[in-house]
Amino acid sequence: MKVLITGAASNIGFSTAISLAKLDNYVYLTVHHEYEIEKVLEKVKELKLENNIECFKLDITLESDRKKIRDLDIDCLVNNAAIGIGGSMVEIPIDLMKENFEVNVFSTLRLTQIYLAHLIAEGKSGKVVFMSSIAGIIPISFLGSYCATKASLIMIATNLRKEVRLLNKDIKVKLIEPGIYNTGFNDIMIENKLERKNTYFNDLESITLKQKKLFELIGHDNLESITRKIVEAVLDDSNKLLYRAPLSQVIMTKLYMLLFK
């Protein structure tokens, strides 16, 4: 298969790209910045996977970058690119929430629409994978903006799946809901609310420290479980929608949904 993964310079996106390449798929590994390409390609060469991976810049918020996928033969689009902005719903600047939604939701959907338009016009089969999160199901204090973007992706993926069926096209939609993994992404999101000095919460530093410790405690260091689920979704030709990992947090999510919904 030919698979394009956004936001794949490191962590889950990179791990997934490597796993797919090792299975002899061809991967368009895309990164946010030009300067990330050289470092990524060095790692790819070390793994002797340069024949299976092509790396280029794809900032999903830029129309000029999104247009790059029009000329590519892609069997599966993995929407992995995302940012996390922390802050309380009481006072988070709306401009920052707009930025969060622009990257995680609107730009993701714009890229997906370009891909779908190509599939429909050419009469081709394909897959779209959306990276949501258990944060889209379980509200996390001071991370409400990020949680809201991931909840939106759940609705977008679920509705898109129903709609493409009405087109009678062989287009599969997959939804990934990872739990907490200690990649550094969560730390940045938890901490960046401290950059805004004026706040109603006098103990925000203490709250932030407690959140970091909790995330480190329950988070997984090994990315294998979620990488395996994404690879499964990419390669799976069934109509299955939802893929979650790690198991411990999947159970926690199900308990939450039973008790509070």
Residues noted as catalytic: 146
Q: Is the pLDDT of residue 83 over 70?
A: yes
Q: How much is the mean pLDDT over the chain?
A: 96
Look up the CATH architecture of domain 2-260.
3-Layer(aba) Sandwich (3.40)
Q: What is the pLDDT of residue 261?
A: 63
Average pLDDT over residues 234-255: 95
Question: pLDDT digit string (tens) for 115-144?
Answer: 999 999 999 999 999 999 999 999 999 999
Percentage of the chain beyond pLDDT 70 is 100
pLDDT at 260 over 90: no
pTM of structure:
0.96
- At residue 74, the pLDDT reads 98
Lowest mean per-residue pLDDT among 3-17, 86-100, 101-115, 188-202? 188-202
What's the pLDDT score for residue 188?
A: 95
Q: Three-state secondary structure along the chain? A: CEEEECCCCCHHHHHHHHHHHHCCCEEEEEECCCCHHHHHHHHHHHCCCCCCEEEEECCCCCHHHHHHHHHCCCCEEEECCCCCCCECCCCCCHHHHHHHHHHHHHHHHHHHHHHHHHHHHHCCCEEEEEECCHHHCCCCCCEHHHHHHHHHHHHHHHHHHHHHHHCCCCEEEEEEEECCECCCHHHHHHHHHHHCCCCCCCCHHHHHHHHHHHHHHHCECCCHHHHHHHHHHHHCCCCCCEEEECHHHHHHHHHHHHHHC
